[in-house]
């Protein structure tokens, strides 16, 4: 798992991108003055979260050299941070008189952006401390200098700490800003350099990763093909996994009807950019029954250069972008799609991508399939994300984040926790399901996505260790850092909201869609073939990286049904519809108590062809670690998945 400053796409595992998701906690609060941190103005204000958890006394290697290089970002609070949060809630709440009364980017800057006076005061403080301001935006200032200057500016000592076999510098206590700047400085990032590699890579991106293929046999729709020679499971013969659902099947399952997303724009953020995305997306549409792209329908906003290419595994992000683009187009074929690529998978670069969308209002709906675990989240970075989410909400922009692919994260990290930024009170967390679409594209059922894997025995007579070990599932659970938002009150059971003890906390997810790679989506991408050449190929994929763009596409349909009026931050409206025909109420036993479900999957050993043989396994559905999909709200699927009445429920 990467640090909280680095975001990862789904790593390929079997037939899916096995995810590790994003970040975000609640908004940063300026706390009590740091001990011994008095400035000439008589006080300091702590910038919470600036001392990382790994900077412990046991790992301390002593003071950082005064001449050591430091690069940081000082994020600006703007002129009315409290007012911004209040307005974001008001315009998003259907019960508010201000509901839907959005502002333009210019109005947001005028009402809530940093003033020239604030920028000037912050700049003067940093320069007086000996730091060099290398860049200024309406959101932050970038600075560089030596450790001695950083220590003067932020009234903190920098020490060297051992972490993961390496040594990094970090504050030995909470950093602070002068009390006179308490209303101007939101936070600072970069005082620790663990995730921030010093070197700058070439802008030339690597070629695509090696080809990945699914082995058959397949079902063309759920349950269409079964091998009666294989052993039974749960009292019957399990069908083969599908080859991969297409747009036609997903649109039918989630009630798209006549809606196509016309006149709605969906933005997608990931790191880097697939060099073949336009050709791949058009080829996929032609091969799988989706409308061809109009001229200009798919566009990209890319940075001038890319960094941390090796550290972030740049080529691994190509498939993420491809999945997101093709899934949105499959569900909402007339919507415009703008891909906004990050210069790297680091927080600062992903924040820049989100900031471009907000500052230019490039879209009303933003799909994000990246993240991290909550334990890696810190209030400083969370504050920077939440500020962007709130500015977006005020403009009518909604952000959708995958909830994660490791269930409760215990198997992955040893600790039960949620993923981020899906845990943000200002983001829509998208959970995952296993989806059965039957003959004639008929919706049959869904379970919560949670898979157990048992291999076929050598003699072929049984499933070894049935039902097998946990193999992945939708992220969810209760945040340890973010308080329960108003829209979850009265819907999320106390047993979940207070699962950590104490008061009610943010529970994830909010809504869900298909994610299980065993009932996943067919995607087409240029990959590196075994002979080293490049070629287009198709494979089945899953993860909540699929669920997020599917929900984004459905939201585009809903916005069209609403006569083009932006949905904005969608959570209050999502919870307002709880318990109605707008949703499929997903449970792990849709056919009745005690009736478990499974599919059979055959995989190439080498992930490419049969030269090394194949393996056959049983994949049990609806078994997501300690999380359970039950009647009503649950921490696997939230309020449920869009039903036949969901899109039309937004009609005026």
Question: Which residues lie below 8 Å from residue 58, measured CB to CB, with a gap of 6+?
Answer: none
pLDDT at residue 16, as a whole number = 36
How far is the C-alpha of 307 from the C-alpha of 354, rounded, in Å? 17
Cβ-based burial of 28 (10 A; exposed 0-12, middle 13-18, buried ≥19):
buried
Angle between helices 347-360 and 379-395 (to 10 degrees): 20
Cis check: omega of the bond before 421, within 30 degrees of 0: yes
SS3 category, 554 = helix
Structure tokens at 386: 């939440």
Note the pLDDT tens digit of each residue in 352-367: 999 999 999 999 999 9
Q: Quick one: three-class SS letters along 309-352?
A: HHHHCCCHHHHHHHHHHHHHHHHCCCCEEEEEEECCCEHHHHHH
**Residue 114 · residue 120 · CB < 8 Å:** no
Note the pLDDT tens digit of each residue in 135-156: 999 999 999 999 999 999 999 9
Half-sphere exposure of 27 (CA within 13 A, CB side): 19
Among 241, 42, 308, which residue's Cα sits nearest to residue 155? 42
Distances (CA, A) of 34 to 173, 254, 288, 434: 8, 52, 60, 49
Give the CA dihedral 509, 471, 342, 362, nearest 10 degrees. -40
Residue 399 CB neighbours (<10 A): 29
Question: Using 50, 70 and 90 to split pLDDT, how confident is the model at 28?
Answer: very low
DSSP of 55-91: --TTTEEEEPPTT-EEEEEEEE--S-HHHHHHHHHHH
Cis check: omega of the bond before 270, within 30 degrees of 0: no
Question: Which residues lie below 8 Å from residue 208, measured CB to CB, with a gap of 6+?
Answer: 274, 276, 315, 318, 525, 526, 527, 528, 534
Residue 595 CB neighbours (<10 A): 11
Residue 461 CB neighbours (<10 A): 9
pLDDT at residue 195, as a whole number = 58
**Backbone dihedral region for residue 235 (phi beyond 0: left; psi -120 to 50: alpha; all else: beta):** left
Question: Using 50, 70 and 90 to split pLDDT, how confident is the model at 194?
Answer: confident
Is the four-CA dihedral 191, 197, 199, 205 of positive or negative sign?
negative
DSSP of 569-631: S-HHHHHHTTTSTTEE---S-TT-TT---EEEEEEETTSS-GGG-EEEEEEE-S--TT----S
Architecture per CATH, 213-287+299-650? 3-Layer(aba) Sandwich (3.40)
Most distant CA atoms of the chain, gap in Å: 82
Question: Using 50, 70 and 90 to split pLDDT, how confident is the model at 164?
Answer: confident
Reply yes or no on whether the pLDDT at 198 is more than 60: no
H/E run at residue 524: strand 521-528
**Residue 174 · residue 50 · CB < 8 Å:** yes
Mean pLDDT of all residues in 424-440: 98
Note the pLDDT tens digit of each residue in 94-109: 999 999 999 999 999 9
pLDDT at residue 381, as a whole number = 86
Of 25-34, 148-157, 253-262, 404-413, the one with minimum mean pLDDT is 25-34
Question: Using 50, 70 and 90 to split pLDDT, how confident is the model at 20?
Answer: very low
Is the four-CA dihedral 512, 411, 56, 73 of positive or negative sign?
negative
H/E run at residue 192: none
Domain boundaries, the chain: 30-189, 213-287+299-650
Question: Using 50, 70 and 90 to split pLDDT, how confident is the model at 379?
Answer: confident
Mean pLDDT (the chain, rounded): 91
Which long-range CB contacts under 8 A does 611-616 form with residues at least 24 apart? 614/215, 615/455, 615/456, 616/230, 616/455, 616/456
């Amino acid at each position: 798992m990467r640090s909280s400053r680095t975001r990862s796409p789904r790593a390929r595992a079997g037939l899916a991108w096995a995810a590790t998701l994003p970040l975000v906690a609640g908004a940063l609060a300026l706390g009590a003055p740091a001990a011994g941190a008095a400035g000439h103005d008589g006080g300091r204000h702590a910038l919470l979260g600036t001392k990382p958890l790994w900077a412990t006394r046991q790992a301390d290697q002593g003071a950082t050299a005064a001449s050591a290089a430091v690069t940081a970002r000082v994020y600006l609070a703007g002129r009315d941070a409290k007012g911004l949060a209040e307005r974001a809630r008001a315009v998003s709440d259907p019960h508010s008189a201000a509901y839907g009364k959005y502002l333009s980017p210019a109005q947001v800057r005028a009402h809530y952006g940093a003033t020239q006076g604030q920028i000037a005061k912050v700049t003067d403080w940093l320069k007086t401390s000996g730091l060099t301001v290398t860049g200024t935006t309406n959101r932050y200032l970038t600075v560089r200098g030596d450790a001695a200057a950083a220590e003067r500016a932020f009234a903190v000592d920098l020490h060297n700490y051992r972490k993961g076999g390496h040594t990094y510098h970090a504050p030995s206590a909470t950093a602070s800003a002068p009390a006179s700047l308490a209303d101007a400085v939101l936070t600072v990032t970069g005082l620790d350099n663990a995730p921030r590699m010093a070197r700058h890579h070439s802008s030339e991106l690597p070629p695509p990763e090696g080809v990945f293929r699914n082995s058959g046999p397949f079902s063309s729709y759920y349950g269409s093909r079964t091998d009666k020679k294989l052993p039974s499971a749960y009292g019957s013969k399990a069908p083969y996994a599908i080859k991969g659902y297409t747009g036609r099947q997903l649109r039918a399952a989630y009630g798209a009807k006549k809606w196509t997303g016309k006149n709605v724009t969906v933005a997608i953020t990931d790191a880097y950019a697939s060099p073949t995305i336009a050709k791949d997306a058009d080829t996929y549409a032609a091969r799988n029954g989706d409308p061809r792209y109009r001229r200009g329908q798919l566009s990209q906003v890319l940075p001038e250069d890319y960094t941390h290419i090796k550290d972030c595994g740049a080529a691994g992000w190509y498939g993420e972008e491809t999945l997101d683009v093709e899934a949105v187009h499959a569900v909402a074929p007339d919507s415009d799609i703008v891909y906004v690529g990050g210069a790297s998978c680091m927080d600062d670069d992903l924040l820049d991508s989100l900031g471009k969308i907000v500052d230019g209002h490039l879209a009303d709906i933003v799909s994000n399939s990246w993240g991290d675990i909550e334990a890696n989240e810190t209030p400083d970075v969370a504050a920077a994300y939440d500020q962007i989410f709130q500015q977006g909400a005020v403009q009518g922009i909604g952000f959708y984040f995958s909830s994660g692919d490791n269930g409760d994260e215990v198997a992955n990290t040893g600790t039960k926790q949620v993923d981020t930024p899906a845990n943000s009170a200002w983001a829509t967390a998208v959970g995952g399901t296993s989806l059965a679409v039957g003959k004639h594209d008929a919706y049959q059922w869904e379970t919560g996505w949670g898979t157990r894997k048992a291999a076929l025995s050598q003699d072929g007579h049984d499933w070894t260790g049935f039902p097998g070990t946990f193999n992945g599932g939708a992220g969810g659970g209760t945040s340890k850092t973010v308080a329960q938002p108003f829209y979850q009150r009265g819907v999320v059971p106390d047993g979940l909201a207070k699962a950590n003890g104490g008061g009610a906390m943010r529970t994830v997810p909010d809504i869900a869609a298909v994610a299980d790679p065993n009932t996943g989506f067919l995607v087409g991408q240029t990959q590196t073939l075994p002979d080293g050449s490049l070629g287009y190929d198709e494979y089945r994929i899953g993860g909540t990286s699929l669920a997020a763009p599917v929900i984004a596409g459905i939201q585009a349909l809903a916005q069209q049904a609403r006569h083009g009026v932006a949905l904005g931050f969608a959570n209050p409206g999502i919870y307002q519809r709880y318990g109605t025909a707008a949703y499929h109420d997903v449970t792990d036993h849709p056919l009745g108590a005690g009736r478990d479900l499974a599919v059979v999957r055959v995989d190439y050993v080498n992930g490419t062809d049969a030269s090394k043989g194949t393996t056959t396994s049983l994949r049990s559905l609806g078994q997501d670690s300690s999380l359970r999909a039950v009647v009503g709200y649950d921490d696997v699927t939230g309020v449920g998945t869009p039903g036949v009445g969901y899109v039309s429920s937004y009609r005026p």
